[in-house]
Amino acid sequence: MNRDTDRLANGPPTPAEVEAKLAAIVRAVLDLPSEMDVTGAEQAAIGTWDSLAHVSLMLALESEFGISIDVTDQVRLTSYRAIRDCLTERR
C-alpha cells in the first residue's frame, strides 16, 4: 500500500531506474559479481541460472515491481533483454 502511495507521489520509475533495479536483481539472485555487465545475460549461458534460480528471479521481480508474472511469460523470460522488454511493456 505504501509502495503504491510512494509510486504515486514520486511518479513512475524512469527506464534507467528500471534497468538499474533489474541489473541489481539479476546479479543478486544469480550470485553474479557486482561489476559484471548483465545486459547480455541469458539463462543458457549462466550456470547459476537454473530452474530454482529462475523461480527466485521471477518472485524477486514481482516483489520489486509490484507485478504478477503469468506462467506463460515466465517460461519465455530467459534473458535479461526479454525481462527488460517485458517490464517496459508493462509500464
Binding site for another protein (CB under 8 A): 3, 21, 24-25, 28, 55-56, 58-64, 66-71, 74
Give the residue with the Cβ less far from another protein, 74 or 78: 74
Give the residue with the Cβ less far from another protein, 32 or 60: 60
Distance of alpha carbon 34 from alpha carbon 11, whole angstroms: 28
**C-beta of 91: minimal distance to another protein in Å?**
16
Which grid cell is 62?
A: 514481482
**C-beta of 1: minimal distance to another protein in Å?**
9
Q: Report whether 80 contacts 43 (CB < 8 A).
A: no
Containing H/E element for 21?
A: helix 15-30
Give the residue with the Cβ less far from another protein, 6 or 37: 6
Q: Report whether 58 contacts 74 (CB < 8 A).
A: yes
